[in-house]
Amino acid sequence: MALRPGQLIGDVSAYSGLASPVEIVARGPGILAKWDLQHVREFTASRPELCANLLRIVSIDLAAKLRDIASPGLAAEELVPK
Residue 42 has pLDDT above 70, yes or no: yes
DSSP code for 28: S
What pLDDT, in 10s, does the model give residues 22-33? 677 888 888 877
Domain ranges of the chain: 12-79
**Gap between the Cα atoms of 2 and 48, Å rounded:** 32
Alpha helices in 5-81 (DSSP H): 12-16, 37-45, 48-70
Residue 5 has pLDDT above 80, yes or no: no
